[in-house]
Structure 1
């Protein structure tokens, strides 16, 4: 995930998770998005798809999506970490799905401050692993801005708070509960949504008149992903122990056991996420 306002993780972590992210994102939501963009072109649009990628990090969402949409595209990559934006154009595809050119423009931005006027002319607002780092008020402001601008919205890989580990361990549930509490914590007076983010975003977009679809997008990690699994475990348990210090002794032993099993190739994990597509106009959930 990318933190609001700055990268929470090093580029090495973002690179490590990119393959799992790409496999997890829901392709099922692409068809209604393509239909929306095709209708916009048929109704007198410019023909160029303008995408704003909020909290873009190293650009993994753009690398995944740009090559799956037709037509010329202009990607405006937003992050508040200038180090992540440096050279980002060279890491993006040069062509869309039908061979049309892809233009890339880096732009520093606090994603919580977008407005409908700012988004005017934007075809798609995209983000990956962002919603759970926002507050309910911030999500509502973004929903209002996107629907006011008539933009489609594709927010991928929001955590759901559910983790399945095989083999199971008696501490799995307690670690998951503590991690979810950590995701909902208050930061500088902001109460983060954490695993409640997709539900809150669905309500916000529908309140502002959008049609919302959501689909599951879980990471499925096995022996081939043991490096990612180990790094995810360290972060997952670390957040849980930060939230519940009384768990530290048991949690550190739990982490050692889990990492040993992971290194031996015996650990599998399903980390649940959900993707959200919001399109302007009525129609309700689908």
Structure 2
């Protein structure tokens, strides 16, 4: 079964600044010390290239980025204007479920952003095995850990968060998605292979400066919760109206917790 993650360029653009603010700078600095020029980075599920734009200035030059994504239009967007010090971009259209070490040949570093939690265990196992096979460190950013904090607190917060997390772990086209369990699985696989592993918090901290992103995230969060538990439909409508009013008044703040992971040969 092909791994197809339906995301739009508009959504990726909307979240790019929040992603950039959230990603772990300590892990990025550690990753930069693990590689030496010239650097070849393989970006899995690269989307519009936000990870490249964020990480490239933090790595030694010169750099080649190999962008892997199933969506050719997103790859075209990403390759159109690479940041300095990227000297070459190689788009690769394809799916990730059968990733092999040969697909990462020559990699200095393998990266992902907001990917692991929408994959299944076999898919994450394949990514880890491929990294180990080529001996390339992996920097995996922005994997949800299942926790969401909203201020002001509402009785629905825990109910909708639990339903959303169940949705993250759903069976999709015969694939059991990992959701919040992805980092623990990846870390355990790397450690079992004798690799060093570090993780770090990378939370989105959203408020009145990001109203469009908060609104889009909130609607998607509740839609997933209701899809998982249709009995929540009426309550979700009331909850959404309350939260929209708070957002319009500049009174709603949201923390969406993620974890970043860095693994490298010991």
Question: Structure 1 residue aligned with 2:153, among 165, 168, 179?
Answer: 168
Q: Does 1:183 align with 2:183?
A: no
Report the CA distance between 1:7 and its aligned residue: 4.4
Give the aligned partner of residue 9 of structure 2.
11
Give the aligned partner of residue 150 of structure 1.
135
Q: Does 1:126 align with 2:111?
A: yes
CA contact (8 A) 1:136 1:193 kept: yes
Q: How does 1:45-60 map to 2 (within 5 A)?
A: 47-60=37-50
Question: Structure 1 residue aligned with 2:22, among 24, 46, 59?
Answer: 24
User: Residues of 1 paired with 2:216 and 2:123: CA distance?
Assistant: 29
Q: Which runs of 5+ in 2 are unaligned?
A: none
**What CA deviation, in whole Å up to 9, does each residue of 1:230-270 have, x standing for no partner?**
10000000000000001111111111111121122110000
User: Residues of 2 paired with 1:162 and 1:132: CA distance?
Assistant: 13
Give the aligned partner of residue 269 of structure 1.
254
User: Residues of 1 paired with 2:73 and 2:32: CA distance?
Assistant: 32
Which has the larger displacement, 51-60 or 7-16? 7-16
Q: How does 1:20-99 map to 2 (within 5 A)?
A: 20-38=18-36, 47-93=37-83, 95-96=84-85
Q: Does 1:138 align with 2:123?
A: yes
CA contact (8 A) 1:151 1:279 kept: yes
User: Residues of 2 paired with 1:145 and 1:7: CA distance?
Assistant: 21
Q: CA RMSD in A?
A: 1.2
Give the aligned partner of residue 239 of structure 1.
224
Aligned residues: 265
CA contact (8 A) 1:76 1:105 kept: yes
**What CA deviation, in whole Å up to 9, does each residue of 1:164-186 have, x standing for no partner?**
00001011000000000000000
Q: Which runs of 5+ in 1 are unaligned?
A: 39-46, 282-286
**What CA deviation, in whole Å up to 9, does each residue of 1:48-89 have, x standing for no partner?**
211111011111001001111111100011110111112422
**What CA deviation, in whole Å up to 9, does each residue of 1:103-156 have, x standing for no partner?**
111110212221112212111111100000111122112111101101010110
